[in-house]
Amino acid sequence: MKILVCISNVPDTTSKINFTDGDTKFDTNGVQFVINPNDEFGLTRAMWFKEKQGATVHIATVGDASVEPTMRKALAIGADEGIRIDAVPTDGYFVATQLAEVIKKGAYDLVIAGRESIDYNGGMVPGILAAMLGMNFVNTCISLEVEGSTATAVREIDGGKEKVSTSLPLIIGGQKGLVEESDLKIPNMRGIMMARKKALNVVPASDSNPLTKDQTFEKPAAKGPVKLVDAGNVAELVSLLHNEAKVI
């Protein structure tokens, strides 16, 4: 089985976020970038298929040279080969068109993408890919097993879970639950050294124009002051909720 894991290079959630040029551009100064968490769950699941079923695992990322440290981490975790599409990612449609070309040429049986990235939370790339390539698609996937050419997946739905069966080739939008957090792999020294020797191929971007453009960014409003009410003073709490907060 040949697997492609789509990797997004995203800011660490502990990073301090700022904007420049009149709040029209994201300021990357001092920001540490990591593998998108939803993609990391997918990469770990791909490693399971590699260890248990002998699958070949490639990773692909749309980005300039600055994303390569994140890709090297994925290679150190165990991916066999990396593909960097040399373009700055803009909107989800643009990213999907770039990944689609890689998938076509690679003839992958299984494409694992994160349900969404934690920077822009577009949640559109896996679905667009499936539509472009005519491949089966399971979104919000929290469990995946493959036997031969048949895949069995569990996905989250409103109020519950749904178990589905489909055939390869398949694209999934994975998320937390695809593997346990305790199973996420941390690169060890041997993996880091081996990653330096693994192929990280840079391919030119295909012709594609983004459909959207960021106009401006705005930080959430600062939290207001907090009033503390004694646990036994229910009357004051009700009064504040009614007269000041106006929620009752």
Question: Across all residues in the chain, what is the average pLDDT?
Answer: 94
Contacts of 108 (CB under 8 A, 6+ apart): 2, 3, 4, 58, 169
Tokens of residue 21, six digits = 């040029």
For residue 177, give the DSSP letter: T
Question: For 136-169, how does the pLDDT look when each residue is reduced to its tens digit (9 = 90+)?
Answer: 999 999 999 999 999 999 999 999 999 999 999 9
| Domain assignments of the chain as residue spans, ordered by start | 2-217
- pTM summary value: 0.88
pLDDT(116) > 90? yes
In sequence order, the β-bridge partners of residue 141 are: 155, 174
pLDDT band at 224 (very low <50, low <70, confident <90, very high): confident
pLDDT(120) > 90? no
Q: How far apart are CA 141 and CA 92, in angstroms?
A: 19
Least confident window among 124-128, 135-139, 166-170, 214-218: 214-218
Neighbouring CB atoms inside 10 A of 108's CB total 24
pLDDT(99) > 90? yes
Least confident window among 60-64, 110-114, 228-232: 228-232
Neighbouring CB atoms inside 10 A of 216's CB total 10
Q: How far apart are CA 187 and CA 51, in angstroms?
A: 16
Average pLDDT over residues 17-32: 91
Average pLDDT over residues 54-72: 97
How would you classify residue 158: left for phi > 0, otherwise alpha for psi between -120 and 50, otherwise beta?
beta
Contacts of 234 (CB under 8 A, 6+ apart): none
Contacts of 171 (CB under 8 A, 6+ apart): 110, 111, 112, 113, 126, 129, 130, 133, 135, 136, 137, 138
CATH of domain 2-217: 3.40.50.620
